[in-house]
Chains A and B, each alone.
Chain A
Amino acid sequence: MAQNTEPSENRGVRPPPDVNPRTDPALDFPDKPLQDMTPGDYQVLGYMSGLEVHQQLDTPSKLFCRCPAGCRVRKVDAEVLRHMRPTLSELGEYDRTALMEFKTKKEIVYLLERGTVCTYEMDDTPPFGMDEVAVRIALEMAEMCNLNLVSELHVMRKQYLDGSIPTGFQRTAMVGLAGSVPFRVPELGVDRELRIRQLSLEEDSCREVSDVGHRITFRTDRLGTPLTEVVTEPELLSPHELQAGACLLAQVSRATGKVRRGPGAARQDVNVSVAGGRRVEIKGVHHHRRLPILVHTEAFRQLNLLRIRAELERRGVQRESLSIPEGGLPWEVTPLVLDVSSLVRHSNFQPARQAVHRGETACAVRLPGFGGLLTHPTQPGVTFAREIADRIRVIACPVHHPFMTHSDLGAESLSSQHWNQLARSLGAHSGDAIVVMWAPREDAATAAREVLIRAEDALVGIPAETRQAFPDGTTGFERILPGPDRMYPDTDTPPLPIPDRMVSEVRARLPEAPWVREARYRRIGLDARAARVLAVAVWADLFDEIVPAEGESARRLAGVLEKRIPFHSRRMRGAKPRLAEELPPATRLAPAVRALEAGEILPEALTRLVDELLENLDRPVEEVLGRYRRRPGDEERLRAALKAAELRAPLVLDGRSPDVKLRWAMGQVAPSFLGKVAPLEAEARLIAALGVGLEASKEVLPVGDSGGSETRAGEVSAEPAREKETLP
């Protein structure tokens, strides 16, 4: 395409380029695992990636009808069967994705449940007005990303022929363009802006239930749920930057407090390319953690496909040698394909033999010049043959596995005698490869054509496609990447002006962006790490509500919340807290902080105090707090405890090392001084009383209060140990 030769200032009026700007593949770069790669390595590869983050919005109803949103059902009241048919594009051509989907000849079955789907989603009723709650949330997110807001939403139809939306298109509207968010990741040395290309508001698709052979089944409860799609510029230059970018965008959407959480509520598509390659999209990744390995693997898959292309070029393989006339059965219209059912029927290779006995057709395709390349690695444990097998799997929809073998595997499948026989019949030379596949006759015909199409694509290098992520970190072909022509206006929906009033209302109530919050926490005295953690923590609002007055109490409170809130949440619910509703009310913790600020309790006591407040939710705050307040007589009680410890120590610990003695003794006296006398002072007096060595005083004591990670070294590691102890 000519896009990349356009003057860059005209970018907005042309589709964004599909190819990597660098055309020189790093063919000599060695394949390395993710952990051995440096950012510089990715620079050598010309690695580029960008994100499309889909986030469900937390609205009561769906986007274009008044069905409830966010319901997951298993009940099925009825089923509807549909097919998709490609529609002609502006130039009278069919979109290549559309055509591919049509070739799959899928029967699409929708499962309906009365409460969660109506005739709108089933494309039997025109759309109702766009949900205003969703529009406001989308505007809010667009504002947080500093996007240029459009003044009128135009609903477009984005074609999807895979059946995941019964209309055959997704209704979507552009909300804002060309913004950015601060992108600061100290551990990656990143400190810049992450440019956001666009944010659109769209309806979610169906949940796939099964996809077997020529039938694909979808559940419709999720269909129509409002969703924002945020697209970044492809400027994330390493797998870890990509992951950090995904986390940042997730934080932005969570900051609104109006997005759905839970499985499938946020899904990212990733665009990846390397020098000499083109944009490949990995779809629907749910977890940020998985992103680095997936894109790393994809980068090397592209590199390996480019190596294969270079080798094919070296061998002088021409496109024309792989082309096949349109129409007719492949084995009747080209000498590259043979119906080999009768040969396979008598082979010892069970899968193929059984297929032919089931009545399926086996055919062989000669790939001139591809000898040895089918076993060329493309991904860890995966060879180029899977590129071919994937196309067959997706487009010809075989039910039985395996459905393909090839000559590079030698006698692992067919005997060498049979391979020789096939080679003779096909007129194959030693430098050629032969692919054999089996399927019902019509599907075998589709499969044979797909093999040749994929082989032809190998001469291009990297086919523009979308890929699905597998659990092992590899990806598989999903569909051809749609062209820009798949988007057209929705004639069922009038344009929706965004009134200035709505924008100013949204601006007035704009949630604090994570980076703004972070800066505020830095200003009140938190260190960089603590501020970053707190800015995106669920308990940030709780922290703000307690309003610690000055640096010390703020640092203490931030540290205590960061450590103790997840712990208590796990204790009570078995998981980290995800919603503000799962947190204790500010009224439970605020008096403790007030007491701390007033000097009524010692900072070291805060952790234990908070623990007690959260472990005994039915006990009045003042009663718990009372036990930690400094009172007259504290000194006498401490003195008595020290005395008791001094007397009992020889009986209990005779002959033990001084630090064991000191630990034991601290445990004995701690209840009587904690919150009232500083631990270092207590410790010093114990050492004096017991007469143990000075070296013991440097030990870590399990009684302090870290109050934030950057405080005195002697206190830092006490917390995890304590947590382990208390875990069930």
Chain B
Amino acid sequence: MSVAVKDPYQGYRGPCREVMERFGITVWCEVRAKTTQGLFEGLLLPRSETSDELHLVLKLGVGYNIGIRHDTVLELEKIGYREARYQIPEREFPTDPAHPNVKLLGTGGTIASRLDYRTGAVIPAFSPGELYGSVPELAEICNLETEKLFGVFSENMSPEHYLILAEKTGEAIREGYDGVVIGHGTDTMHHTAAALSFMVQNPPVPIIMVGSQRSSDRPSSDAAQNLINATWAAARGPIAEVLVCMFGPTSDLYNLLHRGTRVRKMHSSVRSTFRTLGDIPVAMVEKGKVTPIKDDWRPRRDDREVTVQAAFEEKVTIAYYYPGMQPDVIDAMVEKGYKGIIIAGTGLGHVNRLIYPALARANAAGVHLYMTLQTLWGFVQMQVYETGREILELGVVPLANMLPEVAYIKLGWALGVHPDDPEAVRTLMTTSMAGEMTEREPHDGYLILQGGIPEVQAFLEKVWR
């Protein structure tokens, strides 16, 4: 949200602006509007840039906002002026030498925020003082330091941000923090989690990514619980990996710690959107307790050794296969200089014969070709059917149960680290580094309960979901 206050016509264009100029009215004026619909009194608010240019917005004394169309206005009279002052309450974050130290890195997603009650603008709360003002529980967990790295929405996170984030994470670890929390928008959180999993190797302390599905300006937000649990996992948790800490069920009960290479956002809006695919989550966390539910995690260490390999080749893409796909799609990628293509194939890792020649041409041009699955669950198995074997011969390398987005991130990273060494890239890609490929899928690694079935119904009646 824009917080630039100086424009007296904030957001008003065209006819509304004319009306305002005609009557000498600016935003934050208290006005009496005589209109063809009757008399209205209120505070003239800025207008959102994305709304139409036909309506003036008034905030009434009773708290409601209303819109008045410009051509109904007969007269605007200024009866006062009250400008909003944006301020975030800050209380000094208390420090306690007995508490672990945590570094919170901000990328721009709002985990804690305050709302401007008049405009609805969400103002991120980020400094320790601001965070303490809105989630005071944090002070009972750790001493908190924050650093805002960028101010971008999740969807605008890009490889250049991954590099900075990886370096800053490494720095924080070397500086002696007992854990790192990364605040992130949820849409691409799993991409960033994968990037950090590859770039920050063998960390001695937890690196916990956290966000919120419901903005923190609402009383039902998941933000505070997420932040409290993430901070706990970072400050005091035993697992030194890159983990995503988000709601387990939609109920306010516990968070799950998902491995950064196996996690995926699976629903556009529910709180319990993050799921570990093809495996079970690493741990559950409630305030005051991290309970591992897997046993192959890397424990916290006292040393400060960490390897940061921050590199990324941006000319990498995902080709999401569909039955009518034409070969020129692949050709175009090659022509445009893409160095690697992750195919999200059907079934066990298949594409239509029609595009074989294009794949062969890409392979001949030295483009790295890898196969993953759009089924998300399960393994690429290209030896089972004739089709699969043919595709293998075209130089497409299967990536077991690596998720397509993770494969994309890993290939970008591997090509960034070894720009001129295809063999090294291939070795990296086919070797699991951070759990991105597993040797086995447990029986409950794929568990989407089907609603409506009596036994599922019976289960749902017993639990808070």
Question: B-contacting residues of A (Cβ < 8 Å)?
Answer: 9-16, 76-93, 98, 109, 114, 119, 122-126, 147-154, 156-159, 161, 166-169, 172-174, 177-178, 197-198, 200, 484-491, 494-495, 497
Contact = CB atoms under 8 A, between A and B. Distances in A.
Contacts of A86: 219
Interface in B5-57: 30, 32, 35, 37-43, 50-52, 54-55, 57
A11 B64 contact: no
Contacts of A85: 219-221, 224
A460 to B, nearest CB: 23
Interface of B: 30, 32, 35, 37-43, 50-52, 54-55, 57, 60-69, 72, 79-80, 84, 87-89, 114-120, 122, 133-134, 213-221, 224, 250-253, 268-271, 451-452, 457, 460-461, 463-465
Nearest to A161: B219
A104 to B, nearest CB: 13
Given A168-B218, A495-B55, A88 B133 contact: yes
B52 A497 contact: yes
6 contacts: A93-B89, A98-B219, A123-B214, A154-B57, A488-B217, A497-B52
Contacts of A122: 250
B219 A152 contact: no
Nearest to A167: B220
Contact of B43 (A13, A82, A126, A197): A13
A489 B120 contact: yes
Contact of A10 (B35, B41, B452): B41
A339 B252 CA distance: 34
A11 B61 contact: yes
A123 to B, nearest CB: 5
What are the 7 tightest A-B residue pairs by CB atom distance, in nearest-first order? A152-B67, A12-B41, A168-B219, A148-B38, A92-B89, A489-B120, A487-B63
Nearest to A92: B89
Contacts of A158: 63
Contacts of A159: 219
A10 B40 contact: no
Contacts of A82: 220, 251-252
Contacts of A16: 61-62
Most buried by A among B37, B134, B452: B37
B67 A495 contact: yes
Contacts of B67: 150-154, 495, 497
B68 A150 contact: yes
A90 B30 contact: no
A126 B65 contact: no
A167 B219 contact: yes
A161 B220 CA distance: 9
B269 A487 contact: no
Given A13-B42, A85-B221, A487-B64, A125 B72 contact: no
Most buried by A among B88, B214, B218: B218
A250 B67 CA distance: 28
Given A80-B465, A82-B251, 16 more contacts: A11-B41, A13-B61, A79-B464, A80-B464, A84-B219, A123-B214, A126-B269, A147-B38, A150-B40, A151-B68, A152-B67, A154-B57, A157-B218, A168-B220, A200-B64, A495-B57
Contact of A124 (B117, B133, B215, B270): B270
A166 B88 CA distance: 26
A191 B165 CA distance: 73
A74 to B, nearest CB: 14
B39 A76 contact: no
Given A10-B41, A88-B133, A168-B219, A494 B61 contact: no
A355 to B, nearest CB: 29
Contacts of A83: 252
Given A80-B250, A85-B224, A87-B216, A497 B460 contact: no
A198 B38 CA distance: 13
A51 to B, nearest CB: 15
A495 B38 contact: no
Contacts of A151: 37, 55, 67-69, 72
A88 B60 contact: no
A142 B154 CA distance: 43
B62 A15 contact: yes
B41 A125 contact: no
A13 B41 contact: yes
Contacts of B69: 151-152, 497
A111 to B, nearest CB: 10
